[in-house]
Homo-oligomer: A and B are copies of this chain.
Amino acid sequence: MEKIILDDVLAQMRTALESNDLTTASSIIEALRPADQADIFSDLDDHEQNKLLPQINPADAADIFEELYDEEAAELAVQLPLTTLVRIVNEMEPDEAADLLDDLEPEQAEAILIQLEAAHQIKPLIDYPDDTAGGLMTSAYLTLQRRMNAAQAIAAIRAWRPDEETIYYLFVTDRLKRLAGVINLRQLIVAEPFTPITEIMASDVIHVTVETDQEHCADLMLRYDLLALPVVDNDKHLLGIITIDDLVDVIQEEASEDIQRLAGAEPLDRAYLDTSIWSITRKRIGWLLLLFFTATLTGWVMDLYQTQLQTMVALTIFIPMLIGTGGNAGSQTTATIIRAMAVGDVDWDDAWRVWLHEVGIGLVLGLGMGAIAYFLALTWMPNANLALTVAASIFGIVLWATGAGSLLPLLATRFKIDPTVVSGPVMSTLVDATGLLIYFNIARFILGL
């Protein structure tokens, strides 16, 4: 819904809450779609939220909990009376309910769990780490039996409690509950009633195990255009399914993490404005400090060449351009390689080809930039040797930055380190220090300092 309309709804809601007209307030929020409900709800203050929540239909309250950031939902849950909370959690999807319970204190989670209708579905989901297939999957889905025919399968669907999330692919299991095939709803409708489903289903089903990393699950679903991905144990028993809506959230989350890590900031766990100043500071200061200390390396290089600098202070003027260009050329390279890895275009086996490719790019870029730098330097300081020093340094620095920038993310992945962590600012800080070494040595050689 458009923001303007939502602001309007929020205003109506506040008026209703102020005059204690809880019936109007709850009917306003119940008329909205889940994402809008959650937005409006988040904008209310704690006091208003606590007043409203017990009045809302538990199914709508469950939708709101599912849409909120995990931490926000947990904080809200802590403040609710147990009976209200149980009523709401009963209406949540098992995977979302498990995530919520996992974020609560163990005693509170236990107290809720024993009162839940679907405790047996939710309990096994709680212990899986959030970022694995086990943590993503839901246990509420319909499975068909191998021995059914099409008509029996449709009857099973009719009899099943509606659940939009998981109806698009239907997974078929054998008597031992092992994954045997997959069928889509359309195939079922088109088939003659007495066709055995073994004849319609595809038996070569792409699946993952509970431990599979969420990024790998996302890769598979994207690559093969899957709307649902079955999760099995080591004996191929079907344990749950991951649906596309959870998956797109994972893709967004991974992109957010990459972007923030590349800028040297740890990703946030909740909405920006709801994250406290302290908590954001904590997420940034570590990198800032680390980079500050690595930058002393660059300072140390400058200290080393004090004599040269003192003899020719003009050298200092070009330092920002040189280290800036090196850092930029390196970041361009790492960003390209990191994305190429993320979408599966390159991996470690291509390292040699990638490196050659970047060295080629570095040569062309370095020559071009070097030529331009020569003339720029010359217009600034009419000293041909100084201009030559600057041009040769730019060439060397760009070549070095692209070459190193191509290997760094590949090496990081090889050693199971998140490439974004080492590739962003670490990259440019290293290029700063080494770039200056190149510069001062070329200066020593050409200018004879």
Is A284 in contact with B332, judged by CB distance below 8 angstroms? Answer: yes
Could you tell me the distance in whole angstroms from the C-beta of A190 to the nearest C-beta in chain B?
5
Choice from B280, B295, B310, B332 contacting A263 with Cβ under 8 Å: B332
Flag if A277 contacts B313 (CB, 8 Å): no
B272 to A360, Cβ gap below 8 A?
no
Residues of B close to A350: CB separation below 8 A: 273
B260 contacts A258, C-beta separation under 8 Å: no
Interface 1/0 per residue, A302-339 and B, CB below 8 Å: 11001001100100111111011100110111111111
CA distance A288 to B326 in the complex (A): 9
B272 near A248 with CB under 8 A, answer no
**Which B residues are CB-close (under 8 A) to A252?**
222, 251, 343
Give the contact stretch, choosing among A50-58, A112-120, A126-134, A181-189: A181-189
Q: Which residues of B contact A34 (CB under 8 A)?
A: 224-225
Which of B185, B189, B263, B361 is close to A158, meaning CB atoms less than 8 Å apart? Answer: B189
Contact partners of A424 in chain B: CB under 8 A: 331
Closest residue of B by beta carbon distance from A38:
B223
Asked if A417 is an interface residue, CB under 8 A from chain B, the answer is no
Query: Of the candidates B251, B263, B339, which one forms a contact with A260 in the assembled complex, judged by CB atoms under 8 Å apart?
Result: B339
- List residues 351-377 of chain A with CB under 8 A from any CB of chain B: 353-354, 357, 360-361, 364-365, 368-369, 372-373, 376
0 or 1 for each of A259-281: is its CB under 8 Å from B? (1 = yes): 11011110010011100011011
Nearest B residue (CB) for A190: B158
> What is the bound-complex CA distance between A296 and B408, given in angstroms?
29
User: Size of chain A's interface in residues, with CB distance under 8 A?
Assistant: 115
The answer on a CB contact under 8 Å between A345 and B273 is: yes
For A258, give the chain B residue with the smallest CB separation: B259
Task: Check A259 against B338 for contact (C-beta < 8 Å).
Answer: yes
Comparing A74-82, A101-109, A160-168, A233-241, the segment that makes contact with chain B is: A160-168
Q: Which residue of B lies closest to A432 (CB)?
A: B320
- The complex places the Cα of A338 from the Cα of B262 at a distance, in Å, of 13
- Chain copies in complex: 2
- Known contacts A186-B164, A332-B264; A288/B320 CB under 8 A: no
A442 within 8 A of B: no
Interfacial residues of chain A within 400-449, with CB under 8 A of chain B in the complex = 424-425, 428-429, 432-433, 436
Contact B332 A320 (CB under 8 A): no
- Could you tell me the distance in whole angstroms from the C-beta of A280 to the nearest C-beta in chain B? 5
Contact (Cβ within 8 A) A299 B284: no
Which residues of B have CB within 8 Å of A376? Answer: 292-293, 296
Q: Is A176 an interface residue (CB 8 A)?
A: no
* CA of A299 to CA of B434, assembled, Å: 19
Instruction: State whether B264 touches A262 (Cβ < 8 A).
Output: no
**A321 contact set on B, CB distance < 8 A:** 292, 295-296, 298-299
Closest 5 CB pairs of A and B: A263-B335, A298-B320, A255-B255, A272-B340, A265-B332
- 11 cross-chain CB contacts under 8 A: A185-B185, A260-B339, A263-B332, A265-B336, A273-B340, A277-B364, A280-B336, A288-B332, A295-B321, A302-B317, A309-B313
